[in-house]
A and B are shown apart, each in its own frame.
Chain A
Amino acid sequence: MSYNSSIPQAASKRVISQKQIKANFTAIYNAFAKNHLKLGPPDTQGKHNILILRPQGADPATTANQTAIYNKLVATIPNLFYRPNNNQTPIQMTYPSINVSSALSQQYSFVAGPFVVYGGLISNPMDGDVINLAITGPATTLRTVLLCSRNFSGVSNLPGGNLLIGWAIPTNIAGTSFTIRFEVHPGQTRDVQYLAIGN
């Protein structure tokens, strides 16, 4: 039976009220067990097992000494939000997906905002290769792209045996794509690590 907040009534007979009161105590017990350690053991009752958050229709109000963590749908997908005190601007803490594994050469995670953080290794690219991060990750608008040459291999092409290394730079950044550029010298190869952030 579900909880009844209108019992006992003043004119109810005790045989009726007994069942109603018992049903309420049982309903409270069962409801409290959701997300919490069950009522009973005095040392642990009241702590949380988990926190399942139902979606909120609007951002909750916060006072001067309150903050709020809650679930709000973004395009029908639930995401975790944090609202600072005094009704300051809510911050989306999660992104609807993530793809990480030490076996992946291209991965993405997220930071609050939300921003998607892309990272990966492009093996032995050619100058002018176009990299589209949306192929293996979500489509965003890239706000920064950082490249680093790794595992360079090549022969000397400067007097004195010094290597002229054409380090990689990103260009033509549009949407989730960028172009890798570097100076081309015969016999030189390198891998390129990228770190990109988009929203």
Chain B
Amino acid sequence: MTITPKDEYDPIIPGPNDFLAVSQDDFLANFGQLYNAFARNHVALDDTVLTPGNHTNIELMQQGKGPETSVGEISLYSKMVSDQTNQLFLRYQGGSASGKEVQVTTYQIYPAQNLAWQISYFTFLPGNIIVYFGVGDLPRSPNKNTIFFPPYVMSNVISCYFCAQSNNPAVSPTVTFNKDPFGKIGAANLFNIATGFSYFYLVIGNI
């Protein structure tokens, strides 16, 4: 149900000299606006099945900066991130000092590139950290030892792990990372590898 009030919500009605016939229209308008506003993101006020007051979803408008939080409070909000889009942020409890701000999501603005020798996935951790994982068929990769990390947005490697799909225990590699002309780390070269094997990989880094 959608109610069509005649105007916007008016927080200062009724006036002291208004006749009831005037106030009645004002009341209807305000109740209609309240109903419509509350129905957005919330269970409608007249819903007889669900519980009015509960949320149905949460649309977050972009904020210029994170809101202050008090002791015991935690806040969620949306903010624009350079080279990404609007992302979900968390601010820890405040008090005497402002609570720390954490970027929770990292928008997957890029699709995982399909490489003939590699199955690639990526996701994120809170803190604007990207996580690459998958499996590379090294015999088919460039130089037979290279694993790539699409999308190429990682500026710093926090950690990495490579594990052979093999029953040969003597194939744990050492690794070097390559930076592209834009300063992004786009690939790793594996050494001390046993030929003919695929390698699982897990790499986490800062964007």
The residues of A with any CB-CB pair to B shorter than 8 Å are 14-15, 18-19, 21-22, 25-26, 28-30, 32, 36-37, 39-42, 44-55, 66, 71, 73, 77-80, 94, 96-98, 100-102, 107, 109-111, 117-121, 146-152, 163, 165, 167, 190, 193-195
Contact = CB atoms under 8 A, between A and B. Distances in A.
Which of the four size classes fits the interface of chain B?
A: 35 or more
A26 B13 CA distance: 8
A79 B12 CA distance: 39
12 contacts: A15-B16, A18-B14, A39-B8, A48-B41, A51-B60, A94-B74, A98-B102, A98-B126, A146-B202, A149-B173, A163-B192, A193-B158
Contacts of B157: 121, 193
A117 B127 CA distance: 11
B73 A117 contact: no
A100 B129 contact: yes
Contacts of A94: 74, 90, 126
Contacts of A167: 172-174, 192
Of A18, A19, A119, A148, most buried by chain B (CB within 10 Å of CB) is A148
Contacts of B63: 49-50
Task: Please give me the 10 A-B residue pairs with the lowest Cβ-Cβ distance, nearest first.
Answer: A46-B40, A119-B159, A100-B127, A29-B11, A119-B158, A39-B9, A152-B174, A149-B174, A46-B37, A102-B156
B117 interface: no
Nearest to B124: A109
Given A21-B27, A55-B72, 6 more contacts: A29-B9, A49-B67, A80-B74, A97-B100, A109-B126, A109-B129
Nearest to A43: B40
A68 to B, nearest CB: 9
Contact of B127 (A36, A98, A190): A98
Contact of B67 (A46, A52, A195): A52
Contacts of B10: 25
A12 B131 CA distance: 66
B172 to A, nearest CB: 4
Contacts of B23: 18, 21
Contact of B72 (A40, A78, A193): A78
| B-side interface mostly | mixed
Contacts of B60: 47-51
Nearest to A99: B127
Given A46-B37, A73-B72, A148-B175, A120 B159 contact: yes
Contact of B61 (A30, A37, A42, A107): A37
Contacts of B162: 148
Contact of B14 (A21, A30, A51): A21
B92 to A, nearest CB: 7
A120 B202 CA distance: 14
Of B54, B60, B63, most buried by chain A (CB within 10 Å of CB) is B60
Contacts of B174: 148-152, 165, 167, 190
A150 B59 contact: no
A73 B71 CA distance: 11
B199 to A, nearest CB: 11
Given A37-B61, A48-B41, A55 B73 contact: yes
A39 B34 contact: yes
Nearest to A95: B126
Given A26-B12, A41-B8, A152-B191, A195 B34 contact: no
